[in-house]
Amino acid sequence: MKRLHFTRPNNLSKLHDELLAAMPGLRPVLNAQGEREAVMQAEGKADDIWLTVPDSTDDVAVTTVVRDHDALAPRSRTRRETLKGMAVSGTLSAAQIQEALGLLL
C-alpha cells in the first residue's frame, strides 16, 4: 500500500465517491468470509487529503480525479441512493431489484 497526499479544498465523502466511480479497482472487494473489505482509505483534515491505495494504483489517474474534484459542487445521488428511494416508493422493476441486490454485495 502507498499513501498519497494532496492539498486542496475538498469534500472528502464526495471525493471518495468520485474516486470509486473513476477507478473500479479501488472499490471494496469480498474477502474469504464474503464480507466487503476496503481497498482504499481516504482521510482528510481541512485542505489536506491522504489516500491509502494499493501499490499498483495509477498515481496519475488518482491525481486527475483529485485535481478535477470540486468541493463546492453538490454531490449527485449514487445509483444505490436512487434505487433505495425507488424501493421506498415501491417503483422498482424486476431488473432494478436485481441491480439493487448486486449493489449490496
Q: Are residues 49 and 15 in the same domain?
A: yes
Top mean-pLDDT range of 1-5, 12-16, 27-31, 83-87 = 1-5
pTM: 0.70
Residue 45's nearest CA partner among 89, 83, 10 is: 10
Q: Are residues 61 and 47 in the same domain?
A: yes
Averaged pLDDT of the chain: 89
Question: How far is it, in rounded angstroms, from Cα 89 to Cα 54?
Answer: 39
CB neighbour list of residue 45: distance below 8 Å, 6 or more residues apart: none
* H or E stretch covering 21: helix 12-22
pLDDT reading at 105 higher than 70: no
pLDDT band at 102 (very low <50, low <70, confident <90, very high): confident
Q: Are residues 53 and 94 in the same domain?
A: no
Q: Are residues 60 and 81 in the same domain?
A: no
Helices (H), 43-93: 59-68, 79-89
Region 73-84: mean pLDDT is 75
Q: How many residues does the chain have?
A: 105
